Amino acid sequence: MKCNIQVCPGEYEQKMIFHTVSRNHEFFVFEDVPAEVCSVCGDTLLHPDTVRNIETLTRKRKAPERFAPVYQYS
């Protein structure tokens, strides 16, 4: 499928990505999220079912599998 960005000549490709969600001063990082990513500009589309699943996971507050450091940019 052609990219939705008007001047971009790229095509969307199925890829697995990292996706970050910020909710109430908390950050959630998901890996291996299926997405359509433009081959030229990197525009990213998530399927509505994927978004719903991510929202469910952030509400369930399941213990994370790993932790990552967070740095304050000054």
User: How many other C-beta atoms are found inside a 10 Å radius of the C-beta of residue 3?
Assistant: 20
State residue 15's pLDDT score. Answer: 98
Q: What is the pLDDT of residues 39-74, one digit of tens each?
A: 999 999 999 999 999 999 998 878 888 888 888 898
Q: What is the pLDDT of residues 1-47, one digit of tens each?
A: 999 999 999 999 999 999 999 888 888 999 999 999 999 999 999 99
Of 66, 6, 59, 12, residue with least CA distance to 36: 12
Residue with tokens 């929202």: 55
Ranges of each domain in the chain: 12-60
What is the tally of helices (H) and strands (E) in the chain? Answer: 1, 3
Q: Which residues pair with 21 in a beta bridge?
A: 28
State residue 26's pLDDT score. Answer: 85
